[in-house]
Amino acid sequence: MKSILPINLAFERVVGNLAQLPFDEGIEIAVCGRSNSGKSSIINALGNNKKLAKTSKTPGRTQTVNFFTVNDDPQTKLVDLPGYGYAKASKQDQNNWAQLVESYLLGRQCLKKVVVIMDIRHPFKEADLVFLDWCKGLPINIFICLNKADKLSNNQAGQSLAAAQRASQEYPEIVHLQICSAEKGNGLEALGSFITS
Ligand SMILES: Nc1nc2c(ncn2[C@@H]2O[C@H](COP(=O)(O)OP(=O)(O)O)[C@@H](O)[C@H]2O)c(=O)[nH]1
Ligand SMILES: [Mg+2]
């Protein structure tokens, strides 16, 4: 079977607040997750381009939303939302994040799919639940990536997946949980089909 990867992801625009969002049209697929879970690394691995999104060892505080067109279709966009759950972020930064992301999620008609990146060693943390609770009842499908699987044995990864599956029962919008590694590249085909299908 022909691989679905890499996806052609082309940077389209960056916005710093909701007033700058493009028209609410076409299809948007949002990507979010706790800072340091590997969100940028996954986007770069999907696009096979290390320059698409900045990766870092220290969690950043960027509160911007980056748009990428998917496979040259100007009506289909991957939306890189700012990460959450960074313990050292100021209250002000956390409030700004919450306002931006919650308003985007709740107000966006063209948002059809959401990808949540979690570190497989720490899935479904409090900050993830806050985010998933906002998604409750929205007409979207959610795909969960349990990333950094290379840090665990297959057995440990399986246990983490089972625990994550139990936690996900609270969220009917979650359609798939996938063990993956941005570093090794495994598990990304399924994510690629979710994004492009
Ligand atoms: N071992 C391993 N490290 C990863 C993986 N994905 C990301 N990382 C590392 O985790 C750190 C944070 O990654 P980044 O993509 O910047 O996370 P973001 O804050 O969620 O965008 C970086 O040091 C990455 O190299 C993975 O699959 N395996
Ligand atoms: Mg990042």
The minimum-distance atom of ligand 1 relative to the CA of 59 is 19
Say what the pLDDT of residue 58 is.
64
For residue 174, tell me if it sits in a domain: yes
For residue 1, tell me if it sits in a domain: no
Strand order in the sheet with 27-33: 9-15, 65-70, 73-80, 27-33, 111-119, 141-147, 174-179
pLDDT in tens, 34-82: 999 999 999 999 999 999 988 776 665 567 899 999 999 999 999 999 9
Domain count, the chain: 1
Neighbours of ion ligand 2 (CB under 5 A): 39-40
| Residue 101, domain extent | 9-196
For residue 4, tell me if it sits in a domain: no
Q: Which two tokens stand for residue 129?
A: 């639940």
H helix runs in the chain, sequence order: 39-47, 91-107, 126-135, 154-168, 188-196
> For residues 180 and 90, which has the higher predicted lDDT (pLDDT)?
180
The minimum-distance atom of ligand 1 relative to the CA of 60 is 19
For residue 2, tell me if it sits in a domain: no
pLDDT in tens, 8-17: 999 999 998 8
Distance of CA 181 to the CA centre of its chain: 14
pLDDT in tens, 94-103: 888 889 999 9
Which ligand lies nearest the alpha carbon of 57? 1
CA distance 3 to 105: 31
Q: 116, 107, 135, 109: which is closest to 194 by C-alpha?
A: 116
Pocket lining for ligand 1, CB < 6 angstroms:
33, 35-41, 55-57, 59, 83, 147-148, 150-151, 181-183
Q: State the CATH number of the domain containing residue 188.
A: 3.40.50.300
pTM: 0.96
Backbone angles phi, psi at 141, to 5 degrees: -105, 135
